[in-house]
Amino acid sequence: MRFITADSIFNGEDFLKGNPVLILVGEKIVDVQPESEINPLAIERFKGILTPGFVNAHCHLELSHLIGQVPRHTGLSGFAMELMRVRNGSKPDDVQQAMQAANDFMWSHGVVLCGDISNGPDSFAIKANSTLYYHTFIELIGLRPEAASPVFERGKELLRVLNEKGLAGSFAPHAPYTVSRELFTAIATENVKNNTTLSVHNQESPEETDFFRGSGKNIRALYASIGIDISWFEPAFANSFSYYFDTIKEARSLLVHNTFTGEAEIQAARHSEVWWCFCPRANLYIENAMPYLKHFTKYLHRTCLGTDSLASNNDLNVLNEANTLLQCFGELSIEHALQMLTSNGAEAFGLGHRFGRLQAGMAPGLNLIAEHNRNLTFVQKVI
């Protein structure tokens, strides 16, 4: 049994008052008691802030070998074209080593739960042997309506392989400009049936809005660069959100990036089980833009953080995503930033009973961080 306290303890929702002590058996919290109730000689004292383990709600482990290989500020379509050019140029062993290093980095920097995008099975063995809990999103792509059924069937086979390794997962439409409404509907229906989370890249670029208003020359150029004719696709929507949201609104959904999401979309989603995931450093890397957090002020309890991939970021330290938001939005409190890192992320995956809170009966991990002038620094994993 261990008795652990610190200068401050953040339990996933707020800072505990008084002088609380966490009582643990192994990795499990069995009680939280006032310091006055415990033998002072038995207490381990840490300088800083104790928090639950972090949640990285959006990652692409498969792209870990591409760090530094894609130029910054290319815009979404430029980034995608360059990514496809360099993605398959590495040796399989190098790809595996990069994924393992990325996994180990996240664990050593306090992440206990990761929502990870997979287009194939390459990362499954690493995940199966990881101390991290992964929820893998099997990402599906197919803009032609007639392709929805075969694409979905291939996705089901990949999910079966994932599940056979004892790993959790669900389906994820890649983005509105690459997925038909028919495929969106099939994915959402299956995820609702299985009570699992759906993830989609949402309003990451103004190019999406252009595309769904009938122009979008950059996205059309992206398709042309890979030899796919989409001259038949003639959308007439206000934006990408209005194209797909009615097909997924019954599903628990993680909308990722939201760099150009406005109040109208947030209001449209307010009665659905939607979670907004920000990856601010990736947004700066690709678009040199940030989501307008003021739009989300009333819905911060439904926001969480991700790192995106090492193709679009310097590292997978999710604490630095919180720091980027804290630096850019003075209205964001330390408490809200820590909620985004912990309990909010866990709830987005339906795993609030396992992760994100320091409560009796839970084993959510235990991190020690420091805070100075609204900058958070990772100190160590306590558990």
pLDDT reported for residue 215: 86
pLDDT one-digit tens code per residue, 288-324: 999 999 999 999 999 999 999 999 999 999 999 999 9
DSSP code, position 331: T
| CA 132 – CA 103 distance, rounded (Å) | 8
Residues 6+ apart with CB under 8 A from 194: 170
* Residue 207, CA atoms < 13 Å, CB-side half-sphere: 20
Instruction: Give the residue ranges of the chain where pLDDT is below 70.
Output: none
Residue 158, exposed/middle/buried by CB under 10 A (0-12, 13-18, 19+)?
buried
3-state helix, strand, coil in the chain (%, to 5): 40, 25, 35
What does the domain layout of the chain look like in residue ranges? 1-52+356-383, 54-355
DSSP code, position 308: B
* Residue 296, CA atoms < 13 Å, CB-side half-sphere: 25
pLDDT reported for residue 216: 86
Q: Which amino acid is at 341?
A: L
For the beta carbon of residue 155, count every other beta carbon within 10 angstroms: 21
DSSP code, position 356: S
| CA 299 – CA 140 distance, rounded (Å) | 28
Q: Give phi and psi for 203, each to the nearest 5.
A: 45, 50
DSSP code, position 239: S
Question: Under CATH, which number does the domain 54-355 receive?
Answer: 3.20.20.140
Residue 209, exposed/middle/buried by CB under 10 A (0-12, 13-18, 19+)?
middle
pLDDT reported for residue 88: 78
**Beta carbons of 101 and 243 less than 8 angstroms apart:** no
Which tokens in the block code for residue 177? 């400009």
* Cα angle: 183, vertex 149, 63; to 5 degrees: 60
Helix (H) or strand (E) holding 31: strand 28-34
Residue the block writes with tokens 């707020």: 14
pLDDT reported for residue 217: 92
pLDDT reported for residue 185: 98
**Beta carbons of 213 and 236 less than 8 angstroms apart:** yes
| CA 54 – CA 164 distance, rounded (Å) | 26
| CA 18 – CA 4 distance, rounded (Å) | 14
Which tokens in the block code for residue 171? 């389906």
pLDDT reported for residue 72: 97
**54-355 matches 1-52+356-383 in CATH topology:** no
Q: Which amino acid is at 230?
A: I
Task: From residue 248, give the alpha-carbon distance in Å to each of 143, 192, 237, 252, 306.
Answer: 16, 9, 17, 8, 21
pLDDT reported for residue 34: 96
Beta strand 111-118 with 28-34 is: unpaired
Architecture of domain 1-52+356-383: Roll (2.30)
Helix (H) or strand (E) holding 78: helix 76-87
For the beta carbon of residue 360, count every other beta carbon within 10 angstroms: 11
pLDDT reported for residue 90: 82
pLDDT reported for residue 89: 78
